[in-house]
Each structure stands twice: as structure tokens, then as C-alpha cells.
């Protein structure tokens, strides 16, 4: 008897036309995720089954729990589709658990089988009552719900349902570029964007020597954690020092952050076009700091037409922290290395910036050329979850 992980497509998408694409993307993602394990993946119209080596079960389940697009799965026993094998296996499985009431639910996709679903349910229920003492059928609130999925050659039997990560398979939406700082919010924003199926790559603005190499290492570590959910994440490191220094030399200091963020968005806009990304993602949360009031966002947003997705915009900090802990980025995010925003924070950052004031400051220096130079000098890292590389050669 074989043990398999059974994944149903039921909740994958409500759009019928998309189903094949979703299932194909999910299958490819699972294959990639399990590439180092002995598994066989088979698909039919409504389910995917993954045969695995029992000794590797814990590790494989951990990997399955990192794949978006799986809402629930079952660990099932797979037996040949004949009544004798099904009968024996049901009794063996039920003998190993304690319960008083049960219900058997049969789904039959092989319509040529000698009994229909209801007949089979009754028959198997009778087998259990006859062979196991003191058990009762309860169709409304059974202690054990025993599922039988009868396909042409094989039948799957299970009593469990394990919650998956949910969301849509990564790759069912196009590419977007996310602004990844070393903070708590942006890794969570990226996680949530990946959950919607978006192919996210990351961009980090650094201002060396005002920021340290440790700050960059921190961002690389965060990217590695996020690469659990997407096979590979490209991290673009943008040298931002010259622009940042020019902003501080030429501008009204209360406006420095506003203008700095406008420059970031201008660069993001260019990078999106260059990399065929259709949206910008970031970790802004409404009201969290001066540059994230709605009025600030509007003035900052003015420099780009690229859609900006802010997955944590309406979450409380504590809600964001909960997710950060769950995805294991929190401990890295709270490491005390400053990034370019924290190094240059003005005393009184403006809460209600005025567009004209930004334009006046920006006129004072040739930011076009600086932006081009920053883009020309971007460092690119390709990061996977199990990367052993230390990136020393690139640091």
C-alpha cells in the first residue's frame, strides 16, 4: 500500500478558463520545491497525487506547506480500485484510531465501477459495523469522517485534512518589483504579494558608506527567507548615495524624505519598464510615519503611473509583526543595522507635503543623470532559499 499526498484543485480558482494554467503552474512549483526528494507526481482532472518516501515525509510536508495555491491536502492511502483491497484497508486504518461514531463518504469518478457512490457508502459502512465492535454511524457530527475517492485504477482513502498555505500559485500573475528595506514591513508585503501569485523580485536602495555592508547582508538574508515561496528571487541593489546626498544638500530638510521617496519611485518606475514588471510593491502602512500619510503618499505617488500595491497598507503594526514572525523574517528585521531611510531622517518630516515645494527642491539638481547612473551601477543577486553561497565576492 502506498502513501500519497492528495491535493484537490477545488479552491484553486473560481475562473474555469484559468484552471489549466493554475494547475500547471502549481504542478511546476511543486516539482521545483520537491526536486531533491524521491517523489512521483501524477495529475488527473480534479486532483494531484504525490507519492513519496515515508522516511522523507516530515521534510516533504514542510516543503508542501511553503507552496502557495494549496488550500488543503490529505495524506491518503492508495489502494487498487477493487472492493476487497478497499475493505481491508478501511478496517486497518480505522483499527488504528479511537472513535465511536463515523461516516463514510464516497466520491466515484470511475462510473464503470460495479456500485454507485451511495451503494458503496452503505456497503462499506456495513463492513465497519460488522467488523469493529461498538461503532455507530453518525451522518451529521461523526468523530471520524472517512473519505473514499474511487478513481479508475486506484482508490484514495483518508480521514485527515491538513490546511495548506492558501493563495494562488506564484507565477499566475505577472512580474512586479518590490521595494525591500531591512525593516519589518516590506518582507511581509512581499510575502503577501507572492501569496496572490505575483512573481516578485526585490529592489534595495543603499547609501554606502552611510549604510553598512551588514545592512545589505540583512536584506540578502530576508530575500533568502522569502525565496522559500518562490524558487528564485532576483535582488537589485541600487547605489543611492549620490542622490541622497544631493537631496540633503539642495532641499528643504523637512521635505527630504518626501523627495527621497519620489526619487525611489522614479527609479522603480524605470526598473519596472526595463524588467517588464507591471507593478511596484512596498511595505507602506497608512499613517505609520510622516511619509505614509495619505497626503504624503499622494504627493510621492505623483512621479509614477505604474500601479503601486501596498499589501500591508491597512494592517496594524502588531498584525504585520505576527506575519513576520510566522514567516521567520522578524528576527532578521529587528537587527539594528540602519538603512538609508533611518540614517537621513529629518527632525520634522512633513506630514502634509505640497507638490510645488517638492518640485522647487528637485529643480536644484540634475537628478535625471544621477538616476541613470544609479541604474547603470545596480548590483544583481540571484537568491534561492537553500543558497549556501555567502555572496562574499559581491559584498
Please give the residue ranges that form the binding site for ligand ATP (CB under 6 A): 179-181, 183-186, 203-205, 282-284, 288-289, 339-341
339 binds Mg ion (CB under 5 A): no
Which partner, Mg ion, ligand ATP, none, binds residue 204 by CB below 5 to 8 Å per kind?
A: ligand ATP
Closer CB to ligand ATP, 57 or 289, in the complex: 289
CA angle 300, 306, 309 (to 5 degrees): 75
- Spatial strand order of the sheet with 308-309 comes to 308-309, 280-281, 175-179, 199-206, 233-239, 379-383
Site for Mg ion in 173-202 (CB under 5 A): 185
**In this structure, are residues 160 and 83 in contact, taking their beta carbons and an 8 Å threshold?**
no
Query: What is the DSSP-derived secondary structure letter of residue 322?
Result: H
Contact partner at residue 149 from ligand ATP, Mg ion, none, CB < 5 to 8 Å by partner kind: none
Residue 258 binds: one of ligand ATP, Mg ion, none (C-beta under 5 to 8 A by kind): none
How far apart CA 81 and CA 113 sit, in angstroms, is: 9
Q: Are strands 144-150 and 154-158 parallel, antiparallel or unpaired?
A: antiparallel
Rounded-to-integer distance, Cα 125 and Cα 103, Å: 7
Residue nearest to Mg ion (CB): 185
Which one, 158 or 191, has the nearer CB to ligand ATP?
191
Residue 339 binds which of ligand ATP, Mg ion, none (CB < 5-8 A, kind-dependent): ligand ATP
Q: Kindly state the helix (H) or strand (E) to which residue 31 belongs, with its residue range.
A: helix 19-33
Q: If we measure between CA atoms, which residue out of 43, 51, 113, 104 comes closest to residue 76?
A: 51
Q: Which is nearer to ligand ATP, 284 or 385 (CB)?
A: 284
Q: Which CB, 317 or 390, lies closer to Mg ion?
A: 317
Give the three-state DSSP class for 77: strand
Smallest separation (angstroms) from ligand ATP to the CB of 228: 18
With contact defined as beta carbons under 8 Å apart, do 215 and 180 qualify? no
**Nearest-CB residue to ligand ATP?**
183
CB 202, min distance to ligand ATP, A: 8
Residue 121 or residue 185: which is nearer to Mg ion going by CB?
185
Shorter beta-carbon distance to Mg ion: residue 185 or 339: 185
Binding site for Mg ion (CB under 5 A): 185
Amino acid at each position: 500500500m502506498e502513501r500519497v499526498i492528495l491535493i484537490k484543485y477545488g479552491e484553486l480558482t473560481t475562473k474555469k478558463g484559468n484552471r489549466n494554467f493554475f494547475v500547471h503552474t502549481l504542478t511546476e512549483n511543486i516539482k521545483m520545491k520537491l526536486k531533491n526528494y524521491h517523489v512521483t507526481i501524477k495529475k488527473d482532472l480534479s486532483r494531484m497525487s504525490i507519492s513519496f518516501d515515508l522516511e522523507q515525509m516530515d521534510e516533504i510536508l514542510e516543503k508542501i506547506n511553503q507552496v502557495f495555491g494549496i488550500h488543503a491536502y490529505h495524506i491518503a492511502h492508495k489502494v487498487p480500485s477493487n472492493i476487497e483491497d478497499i475493505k481491508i484497508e478501511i478496517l486497518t486504518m480505522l483499527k488504528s484510531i479511537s472513535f465511536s461514531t463515523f461516516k463514510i463518504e464516497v466520491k466515484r469518478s470511475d462510473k464503470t465501477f460495479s456500485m454507485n457512490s451511495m451503494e458503496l457508502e452503505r456497503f462499506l459502512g456495513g463492513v465497519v459495523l460488522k467488523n469493529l465492535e461498538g461503532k455507530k454511524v453518525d451522518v451529521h457530527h461523526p468523530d471520524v469522517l472517512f473519505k473514499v475517492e474511487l478513481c479508475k485504477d486506484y482508490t484514495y482513502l483518508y480521514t485527515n485534512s491538513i490546511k495548506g498555505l492558501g493563495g494562488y500559485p506564484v507565477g499566475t500573475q505577472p512580474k512586479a518589483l518590490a521595494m525591500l528595506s531591512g525593516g519589518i514591513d516590506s518582507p511581509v508585503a512581499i510575502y503577501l504579494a507572492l501569496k496572490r501569485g505575483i512573481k516578485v523580485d526585490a529592489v534595495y536602495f543603499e547609501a554606502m558608506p552611510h549604510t553598512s555592508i551588514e545592512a545589505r547582508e540583512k536584506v540578502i538574508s530576508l530575500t533568502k527567507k522569502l525565496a522559500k515561496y518562490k524558487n528564485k528571487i532576483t535582488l537589485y541593489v541600487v547605489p543611492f548615495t549620490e542622490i541622497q546626498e544631493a537631496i540633503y544638500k539642495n532641499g528643504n530638510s523637512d521635505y527630504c524624505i518626501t523627495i527621497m521617496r519620489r526619487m525611489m519611485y522614479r527609479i522603480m518606475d524605470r526598473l519596472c519598464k526595463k524588467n517588464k514588471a507591471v507593478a511596484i510593491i512596498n511595505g507602506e502602512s497608512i499613517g505609520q510615519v510622516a511619509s505614509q500619510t495619505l497626503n504624503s503618499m499622494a504627493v510621492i505617488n505623483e512621479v509614477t503611473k505604474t500601479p503601486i500595491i501596498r499589501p500591508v497598507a491597512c494592517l496594524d503594526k502588531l498584525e504585520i509583526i505576527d506575519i513576520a514572525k510566522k514567516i521567520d523574517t522578524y528576527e532578521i528585521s529587528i537587527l539594528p543595522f540602519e538603512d538609508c531611510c533611518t540614517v537621513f531622517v529629518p527632525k520634522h518630516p512633513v506630514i502634509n507635503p505640497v507638490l510645488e515645494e517638492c518640485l522647487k527642491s528637485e529643480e536644484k539638481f540634475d537628478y535625471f543623470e544621477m538616476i541613470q547612473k544609479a541604474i547603470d551601477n545596480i548590483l544583481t543577486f540571484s537568491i534561492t532559499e537553500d543558497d549556501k553561497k555567502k555572496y562574499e565576492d559581491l559584498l
